[in-house]
Amino acid sequence: MNTLIVSPSPHVHGKESTRKIMGDVIIALLPAVLVSIWFFGLSAIHLVCVSVLACVVFEYFIQKVLMKKRSTVGDLSAVVTGVLLALNLPVCSPWWLILIGAFVAIGIAKMSFGGLGQNLFNPALVARVVLLVSFPVLMTGTAFHAPETGYLFGNSDLASAALDATSGATPLGFVKEQLAKGVSMQEIMATPGLSYTQLLFANMGGSAGELSAVALILGFIYLLCRRVIKPWISLSILATVFVFAGILYLGDSSKYVDPVFHVLNGGLLLGAFFMATDYVTSPMTAKGQVIFGIGIGVITVLIRTFGAYPEGVSFAILIMNATVPLLNKFQPKRFAEEAQKK
Amino acid sequence: MAIKSSLRNMVLVLTLVCLGASAAVAVIYSVTKDPIAAAATAKTNKAIEEVVPAFDNNPSEEVLNIAADLQKPDETNKVYVAKKGGEVVGYAVESTTKKGFGGPFTIMVGFTPDGTVYNTSVLSHSETPGLGAKITDKSSHFITQWNGKNLTDGSVNLSVKKDGGDIDAITASTISSRAFCDAMEIAANVFSNITSENK
Amino acid sequence: MSKFKYLIDGIVKNNPTFVLVLGMCPTLATTTSAVNGMGMGLATMAVLLCSNMVISLLAPVIPNKVRIPCYIVVIAAFVTVVQLVMQAYTPGLYETLGIFIPLIVVNCIVLGRAEAFANKHSVLESALDGLGIGIGFTLALTCIGLVREVLGNLSAFENKFSSSDGMLVFVLAPGAFLVLGYLMVLFNKLKDRKKKA
């Protein structure tokens, strides 16, 4: 890079480097994918395959047929979106739900804004939120108390049977309900299937990607080692959630969820490690990234604690996505400083 | 083309325009007054017909104003009395809850004289379409489960099963379901106050 | 015949929703179904037609400095008339549209046409313009409402063609923005293609 190009975020330098980064992200997501396949078997494989395939096909089709341009499917970004989308959906999602999600992610959230690098919001998250608002019963009614074997390919009878059996209880939703009834946190944690060890390794609740905190942490460490992402966003999100939830918990431990549960549960780790750190939709400077992370943390806890939905990570990240241009404007990147580091 | 903007002209024109406009509105008001009243009565009557057994009087003319909470006698609910052959066959109680997901909503609950629910009907609501708005689905289990339940003898715990009550909630709409139970409880209180007053 | 152009202009070239992007508040808020959108469009059209005619009649005698208050009084009177009539004869629709009927008073389409068109043109031309813009608005609202209803509720003009729920997001507020945006793109693309041909 001899010529100095001054341009606003995002900076995608070329096909090769994008491809390399995306490849690393896919590798980092593998542990989480493998854990969900380990527990849910065929249905998890089905979910990931349909999602990735649909994202790639939609991207190719829109670029080739509608925009009549050279397709950029080769940069693997559609694959990453597909994997992230799959990890954000319940394992027993029917095929049409995945297709709608892929279409929203690629068609609406990415291509309508001008493709990779132009999108304001994280495509996989937009898809998740659209589906969550559209099909709340399907999206929150996931198998909570551990189906031992996976549902077979798109077998909706089995899936709906499981839905009836567990009717809308992700661990967070379950805890929120119990707290509303006046059951204390200690008593709730005694419920079979809800322990911190289980949260760490396999908690069986929520979306495919929320199964195991350890798998997600492994992926995060890989990304850090490969220097694909900097830790500021993720760490500031986790710290904020922990501190904010901790203050509430210390204030009245009978009414609020304890901070460890908050951090280990739901999509927080997935969101903090893989969704919030998306290059295109996060601020460029370290200071901007910390502000971004704190915002996500605060909004997440607010929604989880006081909102109508049990989970708020995806909403929080999308809301903060919208502030990124502003954060970049107030925190312009210092070119000299960046150059020296290199 | 417009005339000069002198004070006299401006005052004159504005006054005339306002007079003309109010005259037009007044005429239309007097013309539509009766149809509007008729439409409102028709709506109430239709709701009453739905929730109580067949009657032959005009319940809109036999309205009682009863408080749900005797400590607060100012906050009254409308109760329409349905009679057949001079004998009371049912009471239609209007009840508003403030606990709805999208704001307050109002329902009409029909009781037979012994305190059993005959039928219910939603008068106005702003619940989420497709979720809480299912309270308007008359054939759903959530609505039909109330019919035939006696709310005044204490045999029914008026809260959703999640909260330890006897009522099946609408899937994914616990808040609307809770609000509906709240409205039913208000209606039940109003009903027990009528009977105690009119004994 | 040339006067006829005013009518067509209001529907295509000056379409209030897709080209002028006016009156967004009722457009987004009332189009949860095709019938609601159409009802809102027709109510606005009635007000627009009457106010355009009356204002073009009155324009020569209204002093310039008080023209806006005069227009608003005229518009408000017609809105009240429409409101009373709807309340009497279509109480169901009146209840669904609720606050948005009185809010037609502040719909910028109505005052905009009075200020930009009616006070400079004859009664007939103003009537045609009001009708054209009104039809354009009604068509746009009906289209948005129809798309939202079909996707969000799996029904068209209140005839349900599937018993399951649709994509709720389209019935809720975000869906209004999405549908409006994509229909606007489509409308302008078709319009440009026609111009080139």
Structural domain contains residue A340 = no
Mean pLDDT of chain B: 82
Q: What is the DSSP letter of A275?
A: I
Res. A148: pLDDT tops 50 = no
Res. A153: pLDDT tops 60 = no
Tens of pLDDT, residue by residue over B6-53, are 888 889 999 999 999 999 999 999 999 999 888 888 888 888 888 888
Structural domain contains residue A113 = yes
Residue A267: per-residue pLDDT? 79
Interface test with B, best of C31, C56, C57, C64 (most B CBs within 10 A): C64
Structural domain contains residue A7 = no
Residue B149 class from Cβ within 10 Å (0-12 exposed, 13-18 middle, 19+ buried)?
A: middle
Residue A1: per-residue pLDDT? 38
CA distance A90 to A143: 8
CA distance A39 to A202: 9
Cβ contacts (< 8 Å) between C62 and chain B: which residues?
2-3, 13, 17
Cβ contacts (< 8 Å) between B99 and chain A: which residues?
none
Question: Into how many domains does chain B fold?
Answer: 1
Structural domain contains residue A149 = no
Residue A164: per-residue pLDDT? 35
Structural domain contains residue B16 = no
Structural domain contains residue B34 = no
Cβ contacts (< 8 Å) between C170 and chain A: which residues?
134
Question: Into how many domains does chain C fold?
Answer: 1
CA distance A12 to A223: 18
Query: Does residue A206 sit in the same domain as residue A112?
Result: no
User: Average pLDDT, stretch A125-154?
Assistant: 62
DSSP for chain B, written as a single string: -PPP--HHHHHHHHHHHHHHHHHHHHHHHHHHHHHHHHHHHHHHHHHHHHHS----S-GGGSEEEEESSTT-TTSEEEEEEEEETTEEEEEEEEEEES--TTS-EEEEEEE-TTSBEEEEEEEE--PPTTTGGGGG-TTSHHHHTTTT-BSSSS-S--SBGGGTSSBPPPTT-HHHHHHHHHHHHHHHHHHHHHHHH--
Res. B189: pLDDT tops 70 = yes
Tens of pLDDT, residue by residue over A48-94, are 999 999 999 999 999 888 888 877 777 888 999 999 999 888 887 88
Q: Which of A84-93, A102-111, A115-124, B62-71 tops mean pLDDT?
A: A102-111
Interface test with B, best of A131, A132, A134, A167 (most B CBs within 10 A): A167
Q: Residue B2: pLDDT band by 50, 70, 90 thresholds?
A: low
Structural domain contains residue A11 = no
Res. A180: pLDDT tops 70 = no
On the question of a cis peptide bond just before residue A10, with omega within 30 degrees of 0, the verdict is: yes
Residue C8: per-residue pLDDT? 86
Structural domain contains residue A48 = yes
Nearest CA in chain A to B161: A181
Cβ contacts (< 8 Å) between A137 and chain B: which residues?
171-172
Residue A172: per-residue pLDDT? 67
Res. A165: pLDDT tops 60 = no
Query: Does residue A105 sit in the same domain as residue A239?
Result: no
Res. B148: pLDDT tops 90 = no
Res. A327: pLDDT tops 70 = yes
Query: Does residue A181 sit in the same domain as residue A233?
Result: yes
Res. A19: pLDDT tops 50 = yes
Question: Into how many domains does chain A fold?
Answer: 2
Nearest CA in chain A to B132: A136
Nearest CA in chain C to A132: C169
Query: Does residue A318 sit in the same domain as residue A193?
Result: yes
Q: Residue A188: pLDDT band by 50, 70, 90 thresholds?
A: low
Q: Which domain holds residue B83?
A: 50-197
Query: Does residue A189 sit in the same domain as residue A80?
Result: no
Res. A167: pLDDT tops 90 = no
**Least confident piece of the model among A161-170, A281-290, A329-338:** A161-170
A100/C167 touch (CB, cutoff 8 Å), yes or no? yes
Q: Which domain holds residue C158?
A: 4-196
Res. A204: pLDDT tops 60 = no
Q: Residue A145: pLDDT band by 50, 70, 90 thresholds?
A: very low
Q: Residue A14: pLDDT band by 50, 70, 90 thresholds?
A: low
User: Average pLDDT, stretch B153-176?
Assistant: 77
Q: Which domain holds residue A47?
A: 18-141
Residue A179: per-residue pLDDT? 66
Q: Count CB pairs under 8 A between chains A and C.
A: 18
Query: Does residue A169 sit in the same domain as residue A267?
Result: yes
Measure CB to CB from residue A140 to each of B101, B163, B172 and give the nearest one.
Answer: B172
CA distance A312 to A237: 13
User: Average pLDDT, stretch A176-181?
Assistant: 64
B5/C58 touch (CB, cutoff 8 Å), yes or no? no
Work out the percent of chain B whose per-residue pLDDT is above 90: 11
User: What's the token pair of residue C84?
Assistant: 């009373």
Residue B136: per-residue pLDDT? 80
Structural domain contains residue A120 = yes
CA distance A75 to A77: 6
Low-confidence ranges of chain C (pLDDT < 70): 1, 197
Chain B interface residues (partner A, CB cutoff 8 A) = 101, 131, 162-164, 171-172, 175
Structural domain contains residue B173 = yes
Query: Does residue A197 sit in the same domain as residue A129?
Result: no
Query: Does residue A133 sit in the same domain as residue A257?
Result: no
How many contiguous H segments (helices) and E segments (strands) does chain A have? Answer: 18, 0
Residues 6 or more apart whose CB falls under 8 angstroms from that of A243 comprise A259
Query: Does residue A87 sit in the same domain as residue A219?
Result: no
User: What's the token pair of residue A2?
Assistant: 């001899």
B13/C61 touch (CB, cutoff 8 Å), yes or no? yes
Domain boundary among A141, A176, A191: A141
SS (H, E, C) chain C: CCCHHHHHHHHCCCCCCCCCCCCHHHHHHHCCCHHHHHHHHHHHHHHHHHHHHHHHHHHHHCCHHHHHHHHHHHHHHHHHHHHHHHHHHCHHHHHHHHHHCHHHHHCHHHHHHHHHCHHHCCHHHHHHHHHHHHHHHHHHHHHHHHHHHHHHHCEECCEECCCCCCCHHHCCHHHHHHHHHHHHHHHHHHHHHHHHC
B39/C66 touch (CB, cutoff 8 Å), yes or no? no
Pick the more confident residue, A97 or C158: A97
CA distance B3 to B14: 13
Query: Does residue A214 sit in the same domain as residue A278?
Result: yes
Query: Does residue A175 sit in the same domain as residue A135?
Result: no
Res. A157: pLDDT tops 80 = no
- Buried residues in B3-15 as b, exposed as e (16+ CB within 10 A): eeeeeebbeebbe
Structural domain contains residue B22 = no
Please say whether the beta carbons of B37 and B45 come within 8 A: no
Task: Give this prediction's pTM.
Answer: 0.79
Residue A192: per-residue pLDDT? 54
